[in-house]
Structure 1
Amino acid sequence: MEFVSSWCNNGVLPPSYVHPSETRPGNLVVPPGTSIPVIDFAGHDRNQIIQKILKAGEEYGFFQVINHGVSETLMDDTMDVIKEFHAMSGMEKQRECSKDPNGSCKLYTSSLDYPAEDFHYWRDALIHPCNPAEECIKFWPEKPTRYREVIGAYSVEMRKLSSRILEIICEGLGLEKGYFSSDLSENPKIIINHYPVCPDPSLTLGLSKHKDPTVISLVLQGLIPGLQVLKDGQWISVQPHPHAFVVNIGYLLQIISNGKLNGAEHRVVTNRNAARTTITYFVFPTNESLIKPAKVLTNEQNPPLYKDCKFSDFFTAFLSRAVEPCT
């Protein structure tokens, strides 16, 4: 298995990366002015912020946040470090990601199930846990030299920001305070995706249509577009906003909200002129967590739309794509 970034400069799209005609992005033209909501956290009216997030969660399943309190310097340093990581040779990257005998730090190309794929995705990726930091960090890459320091600081800020967003959602849905602060958010992971320059973006994808199997996901995507959200049967592009975070309502939050919030389907398209590197903070529960609609959101008039299920079972079903988890 070779990483896409190791051979993509030959200007050829191998047949194994050409997707079926029905899933190819083609030469899609996104209508001008169409994008997901941008929410300013510097607003003084908390109720207004709550309502904007709920509306975005219901209608799009996505929104961007600005003035969120995370240092722009840290965001820039994080983007620099992850680009430096993916600029290293495949051998170097593999060496840096093989320190944990349990394999918690995973470096791969296309997907974690590469051998079984009918066709591949135009991306390289690194995923690793980040909580508790003092236990996880010793298995993170030591190169680039600032990786552990910068990503460690970034993880702390992402935990704070994700908790803040979940508390706002919690309040908006009428859930008890701290509903998401225990096992539902105790197993966060970071994934760093790299989508190299692609010779023909109309024939392949960086990631296919999917929902995130998370509570929420926070994406730092830089200034290169590529993320697209499916709304009302139409793909809309998430336009990069300087120093913003893209927030994605995960499938788990769709279940917990009993369908009030939308875990929207989305995909990643590639780019002929520029590589795209992103870092996503996934808010995952522990494996033993019970995923179910919040009791306060169900009654005789609004029965549960999903069955109770353990997260480990949900995740297995989600990865198999054989069934809709918890339905």
Structure 2
Amino acid sequence: MPRPTIPVVSYSDLLSTTGARQRAIAALGQALEDIGFFILEPHPISPEVVRRAYQVAADFFELPNRTKAQYAPAPAGSQDGFSSFGSEQAKGHTVPDLKEFWHVNRHSLTENMATWPQEVPTFRPVMTRLYQQLMTCADVLLMACADYLGQPSDWLVDMAAGGNTVLRLAHYPAVSTVPAGGLRAAPHEDINLITLLCEATAPGLEIFAEGQWVPIQTHPGQIVVDTGDMLQNLTNGLFKSTTHRVVNSHNINQARLSMPFFVHPRPEVDLSPEPTLIQRTGGEPQFPPITAADYLTQRLREIQVGPAA
């Protein structure tokens, strides 16, 4: 069986005032209907900002574990600061993922957080700039999604305004042994509206499409974009939230860094399937009425990082 291909959408076309914009919107929407993923190329994120972000992330993750541990958030499970190796596991899996990570969220940028790593002075300004550029890009993509769905252009942008969108700096270190069933990231779906993923430093990302695992390796100048569960719920399944994973490297001495940007709605946003999209998908709601806050709390418990029920 031939492998499915991931459609490519031009960011510059999405900003066009000609027919190119409508063609790009159609390509974006069809990709999220069919496979739940597309590649954005070109994109507006500065290559120098991406390069510097990976460098300062590497500088942080090279710190001793006891130093990194002091930046763990309180309470545990908060979507900011440092999370140690093996602290998260995918929904439905019992073996923790082989990764550690740092979360930059909206509150990180607006509050005087003590959790910014003092050992890496450039960490905060570099990550702030990357976060802001990714958010600007995400707003354009959310407008395109809304237009494709026949909703007001600001429909999804308004939901995300003030939401606790998270930039995750994920480090998959080289490991000497891999536990039975252990993966860098076990098969899962994202929780949020959409995710933007700058090119990682090594291969490993795979999506499950048409009954097979399909490797995706982004290159400089590309961003992988996918639908999260919240947008799938809101669109009554018109946009697919596709299962994906990060497999272990054949070379266990090869570390990997990636920087997914998880775009979240505000906690009070109603994610119940939109009535016009229920009609577009067969006339019956396929997903439950739920708020973004309840959805997130439920999922964090399922992946063992939220408060106990």
- Normalising by structure 1, we get a TM-score of 0.79
Matched, 1:92 2:67: yes
Aligned to 1:297: 277
Shift of 1:287: 2.4
Residue identity matched to 1:258: N
The change in CA–CA distance for 1:305 and 1:118 in structure 2 (over 3 A counts) is: closer
Indicate if the aligned counterparts of 1:125 and 1:191 stay in contact, CA closer than 8 A: yes
Secondary structure at 1:180 match in 2? helix
Matched, 1:173 2:149: yes
**Structure 2 residue aligned with 1:269, among 233, 237, 247?**
247
CA offsets 1:253-278 (integer angstroms, 9 cap, x no match): 11111111100011111213321101
Aligned to 1:14: none
Aligned to 1:285: 265
Q: Which runs of 5+ in 1 are unaligned?
A: 1-30, 323-327
Shift of 1:188: 0.6
Aligned to 1:242: 220
Inter-partner Cα distance in structure 2 for 1:153 and 1:124? 22
Residue identity matched to 1:293: P
Inter-partner Cα distance in structure 1 for 2:151 and 2:174? 44
Shift of 1:112: 3.9
Aligned to 1:36: 6
Residue identity matched to 1:286: R
CA offsets 1:59-93 (integer angstroms, 9 cap, x no match): 22111212211211111111111122112211222
Q: Which runs of 5+ in 2 are unaligned?
A: 304-309
Residue identity matched to 1:36: I
Query: Percent identity, aligned pairs only?
Result: 24
Shift of 1:203: 5.2
Matched, 1:187 2:157: no
The change in CA–CA distance for 1:112 and 1:128 in structure 2 (over 3 A counts) is: farther
Residue identity matched to 2:210: D
Residue identity matched to 1:312: A
Q: Tell me whether 285-294 or 200-209 shows the greater mean CA deviation.
A: 200-209
Inter-partner Cα distance in structure 1 for 2:293 and 2:8? 33
Inter-partner Cα distance in structure 2 for 1:281 and 1:200? 29
The change in CA–CA distance for 1:89 and 1:237 in structure 2 (over 3 A counts) is: same
**Structure 1 residue aligned with 2:32, among 57, 65, 71?**
57
Aligned to 2:306: none
**Structure 2 residue aligned with 1:308, among 289, 293, 308?**
289
Matched, 1:146 2:116: no
Secondary structure at 1:277 match in 2? strand
Matched, 1:215 2:193: yes
Shift of 1:100: 6.5
Alignment of 1:221-240 (within 5 A): 221-240=199-218
CA offsets 1:95-123 (integer angstroms, 9 cap, x no match): 3x158788642422223479xx8423211
Inter-partner Cα distance in structure 1 for 2:116 and 2:43? 27
Secondary structure at 2:126 match in 1? helix
Indicate if the aligned counterparts of 2:36 and 2:242 stay in contact, CA closer than 8 A: yes
The change in CA–CA distance for 1:98 and 1:122 in structure 2 (over 3 A counts) is: closer
Residue identity matched to 1:89: P
Indicate if the aligned counterparts of 1:222 and 1:242 stay in contact, CA closer than 8 A: no
Secondary structure at 1:303 match in 2? coil
Secondary structure at 1:309 match in 2? coil
Indicate if the aligned counterparts of 1:110 and 1:125 stay in contact, CA closer than 8 A: no
The change in CA–CA distance for 1:221 and 1:200 in structure 2 (over 3 A counts) is: farther
Secondary structure at 1:191 match in 2? strand
CA offsets 1:195-214 (integer angstroms, 9 cap, x no match): 12245679530111111110
Shift of 1:159: 0.9
Indicate if the aligned counterparts of 1:198 and 1:271 stay in contact, CA closer than 8 A: no
Residue identity matched to 2:56: V
Aligned to 1:6: none
The change in CA–CA distance for 1:251 and 1:99 in structure 2 (over 3 A counts) is: closer
Secondary structure at 1:109 match in 2? coil
Aligned to 2:183: 205
CA offsets 1:218-242 (integer angstroms, 9 cap, x no match): 1123241111100022100112221
- Normalising by structure 2, we get a TM-score of 0.84
